[in-house]
Structure 1
Amino acid sequence: MSADFLIDNLRVTDLPSVLSIQSESYPGYLVESRQVFLSRLSLKNSCCLAAREGELLLGYMIAHGWQADDPPPLGIVVEMAEQSDVLFIHDLAVSNSGRGRGIGKKLVEHAFDCARSKGMTVAQLVAVEGATRYWRGLGFTEAQTAGNLRAKVREYGADARWMSRLIPAGSTNS
């Protein structure tokens, strides 16, 4: 496969491929329904993206504006957020055939550009399944959790970690 791929907006018609990539990337308790993904695509401050090689979906990112330090519960259909303090990165997955090509990093960079255009300056996420090191490599740091936030993060699994970072000023894409 060539190293060339295109990043653009994730579309409703991509959802069958998204669900397939999700299933190959995550254990069953983290697999979410089409309706969950559709609800995030529909949010006003959606920054949901796709990495494509021709018609083939290589990876996706589900990200959207949300309230700071308050991730939506896992597996829930969300409605319009009242405010968008931060970019919440809900999900990032790359197909087995797309791994090792820098797709995840490019999806994050494009999501930062999208968030910046909507006035967001901070990104937050829950790192799952040992992905903390990956996210650290992209500049995210672990943040302390307590109370309601700690309980929500635990819903994502025993090794889940709450992480955040500032969105860099200016375009991150070359």
Structure 2
Amino acid sequence: MPVESILNAKAITFTVRAVCEHDLDAIMRIQAECYPPSMQEPEEVVLSRIRTAADTSFVAIDGDVVSAYVFGYPSRLGAAAPLNSRFVVPANANTLYIHDLAVSRAGSGLARRLVARIVERATERGLANCALVSVQDSLAFWERFGFQTEPAPGPELRAALESYPGNALYMIRSLDA
């Protein structure tokens, strides 16, 4: 498996590579560390995402220990994966949808590097946008990366947002600029 990039954080060297099935246990551990039970998605859903979107999803590892992950998949602007759903990749994708970014305490500082890598992948694939659902009061975090809230989502998107607990916001970032 090719190494995507090398990252240095707190004197530890992290490697970023595409996600694969043998990362599942570590991803489930990090998910449990980062999210309340109401937002933890079942193992079979996470595994289906690995199988569907391995070329647009990444892990950061130190040696063989996964410390962070980001899941993304090609989608359409204005669409979002509801919580606990499998990814559906449309034939006419124009957006890389970032479904989940989680960093363990051991991987502090990796989030911005994983965001940069997934945005880079969207650009490599010729997609015009990145989009995501901001949860857990992460609005300011995503705004630092150029994401802006979508003020008037359509009915399907509103239904997807309602599947998340708390204040879930749809955010987009144009990659044309």
TM-score, normalised with respect to structure 1? 0.88
Distance, in Å, in 2 between the alignment partners of 1:54 and 1:44 is 23
Do structure 1's residue 70 and structure 2's residue 100 form an aligned pair? no
Return the offset for 1:168.
6.3
SS in 2 for 1:110: helix
SS at match of 1:5: strand
Structure 2 unaligned segments of length 5 or more: list them.
1-9
- Give the whole-Å Cα distance in 1 for the aligned partners of 2:25 and 2:86: 17
The one of 92, 97, 112 aligned to 2:119: 112
For 2:150 and 2:27, how far apart are their aligned partners in 1?
29
* RMSD (Å) for aligned C-alpha atoms: 1.8
Q: State whether structure 2 residue 156 is matched by structure 1 residue 134.
A: no
* Range moving further from structure 2, 47-56 or 152-161: 152-161
User: Is 1:54 aligned to residue 60 of structure 2?
Assistant: no
Shift, 1:3, TM fit? 4.2
Q: Is the 8 A contact 1:45 1:118 kept in 2?
A: no
Deviation at 1:10, TM superposition (A): 0.9
User: What is the 5 A alignment of 1:24-35?
Assistant: 24-35=33-44
Q: SS of the residue aligned with 1:76?
A: coil
What is the deviation of 1:13? Answer: 0.3
Aligned residue number for residue 150 of structure 2: 143
Are residues 23 and 97 of structure 1, via their aligned partners in 2, closer, same or farther at CA, if it must alter by over 3 Å? same
Distance in 2 (alpha carbons) for counterparts of 1:3 and 1:28: 30
TM-score normalised per structure 2: 0.86
- Residue number among 162, 168, 171 corresponding to 1:163 in the alignment: 171
* Other-structure match for 2:5: none
Matched with 1:13 is 22
For 1:73, the aligned partner's letter is: P
Cα pair distance change 1:44/1:159, threshold 3 Å: closer
Paired residues in the alignment total 167
Q: Distance in 1 between matches of 2:51 and 2:125?
A: 15
Shift in Å, 1:85: 1.6
Are the aligned partners of 1:70 and 1:149 in contact in 2 as well (CA < 8 Å)?
yes
The secondary structure found in structure 2 opposite 1:77 is coil
Identity %: 27
The code of the aligned residue for 1:76 comes to S
Match of 2:161 among 149, 153, 162: 153
- Structure 1 runs (4+) deviating above 6 angstroms are none
Residue 106 of structure 2 corresponds to: 97
| CA apart distance, 1:158 | 2.6
- Contact 2:53 2:71 (C-alpha < 8 Å) held by counterparts: no
Unaligned runs of 5+ in 1: 170-174
SS of 1:23's equivalent in the other structure is helix
